[in-house]
Structure 1
Amino acid sequence: MDRRRRLWLAAGLAVLLAVVVVLAAIVAGSGPSPSSNPASASAGSKSSTPTHTPPPAAAPAPPTIPELPASDMNILVIGSDSRGNAKEQNNQTVTSGQPKDQRSDCLMLIHVPADRKKIYGISIMRDNWVNIPGFGASKVNAALGLGGIPLVVKTVESLLGTHVDHTVMLDFNGFKTLTDGLGGIDVNVTLPFTASFETHHVFVAGVNHLDGQAALEFVRERYSFVDGDFQRVRNQQTFLRALLVKLSGALQTPAGVLSLVNFAVNDLIVDQGFDPASVAMLAYALRTVDPGASVFFTLPTAGTGTSPDGQSIVVPDYAGIGQVAAALRDGTLPQYAAAHGY
Structure 2
Amino acid sequence: MAHQSKPSLMRIRMRSHQRSSVNKEMNALKKKKTPIWKNPVFYLSILMVVVVAFLFFQIVKLNLLPNTLVGIIGVVLLIFIVLTILFGLVLGRSRKGFRIFGIILSIVLIGTSCFGSYYLMNANGALDRIASDSNYDRHTIQLYAVKHSSLNSEKDLNGQTIGILKNSQRTYVNKVIKQLKADKDIKFTTKTYDSSVELVNDFLGQKIDCMMIDASNLSVMEEMDGRQDIRSEIKSIYKYTYYVKKADTSSTADVTSDAFTVLISGSDSRGSINETSRSDVDMLVTVNPKTHVVLMTSIPRDYYVETTCEASMGCGNGEKDKLTHTGLHGIDTTEMTIEKFMDMDINYHVKVGFSTLSNLVDELGGITVNNPQSFSTGNYSFQQGTIELNGEQALAFARERYSFTEGDKERGRNQMRVLTGILNKVMSPSILKNYQGIMNTLADSFQTNMDTDDISALVKEQLSSQASWKIYTTSLDGTTGTAYCYELGDNASVVFPDDNSISEAKTNIQAVEHGEDPPYASQS
Same fold (TM over 0.5): yes
Amino acid at match of 1:328: I
Partner Cα separation in structure 2 for residue 128 and residue 330 of structure 1:
24
Q: Which has the higher contact order (CA 8 A, sep 6+)?
A: 1
Match of 1:290 in 2: 468
Contact 1:132 1:155 (8 Å CA) reproduced: yes
Q: Percent identity?
A: 25
Partner Cα separation in structure 1 for residue 448 and residue 396 of structure 2:
28
Quick one: which of 353, 359, 375 aligns to 1:193?
Answer: 375
Quick one: which of 296, 299, 322 aligns to 1:124?
Answer: 299
Match of 1:4 in 2: none
Deviation at 1:69, TM superposition (A): 5.0
- Range 36-45 or range 113-122, more displaced: 36-45
Match of 2:453 in 1: 277
> Is it true that 1:267 corresponds to 2:454 in the alignment?
no
Partner Cα separation in structure 2 for residue 234 and residue 317 of structure 1:
17
Partner Cα separation in structure 2 for residue 22 and residue 213 of structure 1:
34
State the Cα deviation string for residues 293-342 of structure 1 (Å, max 9, x = none): 3101112x232111144311111012331343355357678768325656
> Is it true that 1:319 corresponds to 2:500 in the alignment?
yes
Contact 1:189 1:205 (8 Å CA) reproduced: yes
SS in 2 for 1:310: strand
Which has a greater percent of strand?
2
Match of 2:409 in 1: 230
Deviation at 1:84, TM superposition (A): 1.9
> Is it true that 1:112 corresponds to 2:287 in the alignment?
yes
Alpha-carbon distance change, 336 to 320 in structure 1, aligned in 2, over 3 angstroms: farther
Contact 2:472 2:522 (8 Å CA) reproduced: no
Partner Cα separation in structure 2 for residue 217 and residue 311 of structure 1:
26
Quick one: which of 427, 443, 447 aligns to 1:248?
Answer: 427
Match of 1:136 in 2: 319
Calculate the TM-score normalised by the size of structure 1.
Answer: 0.71
Partner Cα separation in structure 1 for residue 297 and residue 335 of structure 2:
14
What is the RMSD computed on CA atoms of the aligned residues?
Answer: 4.1
Deviation at 1:150, TM superposition (A): 1.4
Alpha-carbon distance change, 319 to 282 in structure 1, aligned in 2, over 3 angstroms: same
Match of 2:398 in 1: 219
Partner Cα separation in structure 2 for residue 177 and residue 119 of structure 1:
24
Unaligned runs of 5+ in 2: 1-59, 114-119, 121-253, 309-316, 485-489
Partner Cα separation in structure 2 for residue 340 and residue 44 of structure 1:
69
Amino acid at match of 1:296: T
Alpha-carbon distance change, 249 to 84 in structure 1, aligned in 2, over 3 angstroms: closer
Amino acid at match of 1:75: V
Matches within 5 A, 1:71-90: 71-87=258-274, 89-90=275-276
Amino acid at match of 1:303: T
Which of the two has higher C-alpha Rg?
2
SS in 2 for 1:158: helix
Calculate the TM-score normalised by the size of structure 2.
Answer: 0.48
Which has a greater percent of helix?
2
Contact 1:327 1:333 (8 Å CA) reproduced: no
Partner Cα separation in structure 2 for residue 228 and residue 284 of structure 1:
39
Matches within 5 A, 1:21-170: 23-25=62-64, 69-87=256-274, 89-90=275-276, 102-133=277-308, 134-145=317-328, 147-170=329-352
SS in 2 for 1:127: coil
Amino acid at match of 1:305: G
Alpha-carbon distance change, 106 to 282 in structure 1, aligned in 2, over 3 angstroms: same
Alpha-carbon distance change, 22 to 136 in structure 1, aligned in 2, over 3 angstroms: farther
Partner Cα separation in structure 1 for residue 388 and residue 415 of structure 2:
15
Match of 1:96 in 2: none
Amino acid at match of 1:125: P
User: What is the aligned residue count?
Assistant: 292
Amino acid at match of 2:417: T
Alpha-carbon distance change, 182 to 129 in structure 1, aligned in 2, over 3 angstroms: same
Amino acid at match of 1:216: L
Alpha-carbon distance change, 181 to 341 in structure 1, aligned in 2, over 3 angstroms: closer
Deviation at 1:118, TM superposition (A): 1.2
Deviation at 1:114, TM superposition (A): 4.8
Match of 1:208 in 2: 387
SS in 1 for 2:441: helix
- Range 215-224 or range 256-265, more displaced: 256-265
Amino acid at match of 1:24: N
Alpha-carbon distance change, 320 to 25 in structure 1, aligned in 2, over 3 angstroms: closer
Partner Cα separation in structure 2 for residue 183 and residue 271 of structure 1:
24
Partner Cα separation in structure 2 for residue 336 and residue 285 of structure 1:
21
Partner Cα separation in structure 2 for residue 212 and residue 69 of structure 1:
30
State the Cα deviation string for residues 167-209 of structure 1 (Å, max 9, x = none): 11232354212211222222222211111x3xx2111122222
Partner Cα separation in structure 2 for residue 79 and residue 278 of structure 1:
21
Deviation at 1:151, TM superposition (A): 0.8
